[in-house]
Structure 1
Amino acid sequence: MAEEKDEIDLFLDSRVKTEKELLQEKCEKTYNAASNQTRREIMRTVCFLGKRKEELLKETGLDEAALKFHAEVLINADFLYKDEDGVYRLTELGLKVLPKL
């Protein structure tokens, strides 16, 4: 059963975040995404040409649930995106980080 939101939850949900808070959140997302070995492996596997889900599953040895979880973290951190053909590709940021992986 879902918990009901109280006045504090409603206030926190409606509050506009400062520029500093937004930047801190972005930094945390970026660090979280890049600090995980599995996510770095996904980025190296996608590389410059991109990979389909089936290729990533085979080459990384991950199951579908794990791949989906890690891919979403990378997408939310702006390292990865999925194009209209279903191919995972590195973003501009992902391409900049790739040589350091």
Structure 2
Amino acid sequence: MMEEKDEIDLFLDSQVKTEKELLQEKCEKTYNAASNQTRRDIMRTVCFLGKKKEELLKEIGLDEAALRFHIEILINSDFLFKDEKGIYRLTELGLKVLPKL
């Protein structure tokens, strides 16, 4: 027996994004992350070897809240990740973009 859809179900179904909308959203997130000078500085500082939060705070000169804000954007844009040892590293995409920064 099939359940009948109510107004909430219909609303939620209408909120599903198309593949084109999802791609557009990803492009905007990527551009936003890479277009900011502070985030570029973070990526250059992390470079190939990775950096701990304390090293980034010292080398970039941001307070902890600002660093967290920028790192979250870089992680959500798939440029950066935090490994199991707490070291921030560039993703494959981050490594591809690095020479262009």
TM-score range relative to shorter protein: 0.7 to 0.9
Q: Distance in 2 between matches of 1:71 and 1:26?
A: 17
Q: Which amino acid counterpart does residue 96 of structure 1 have in structure 2?
A: K
Cα offset, 1:15, TM superposition: 1.6
| Coordinate RMSD, CA, aligned | 1.9
Provide the TM-score with structure 2 as the length reference: 0.87
Q: Are positions 1:91 and 2:91 aligned together?
A: yes
Query: Larger radius of gyration, structure 1 or 2?
Result: 2
Q: Are positions 1:26 and 2:26 aligned together?
A: yes
Q: Distance in 2 between matches of 1:35 and 1:85?
A: 28
Q: Distance in 2 between matches of 1:61 and 1:34?
A: 19
Cα offset, 1:13, TM superposition: 8.7
Q: Which runs of 5+ in 2 are unaligned?
A: 1-6
The verdict on how the C-alpha distance between 1:41 and 1:17 changes in structure 2, with shifts beyond 3 A counting, is same
Q: Spell out structure 1 runs of 4+ moving beyond 6 A.
A: none
Cα offset, 1:12, TM superposition: 6.4
Q: Which runs of 5+ in 1 are unaligned?
A: 1-6
Q: Distance in 2 between matches of 1:13 and 1:72?
A: 29
Pairing of 1:1-20 with structure 2 (within 5 A) = 11=11, 15-20=15-20
The aligned residue for residue 77 of structure 1 is 77
The verdict on how the C-alpha distance between 1:13 and 1:32 changes in structure 2, with shifts beyond 3 A counting, is farther
Matched residue pairs, number? 94
Pairing of 1:34-53 with structure 2 (within 5 A) = 34-53=34-53
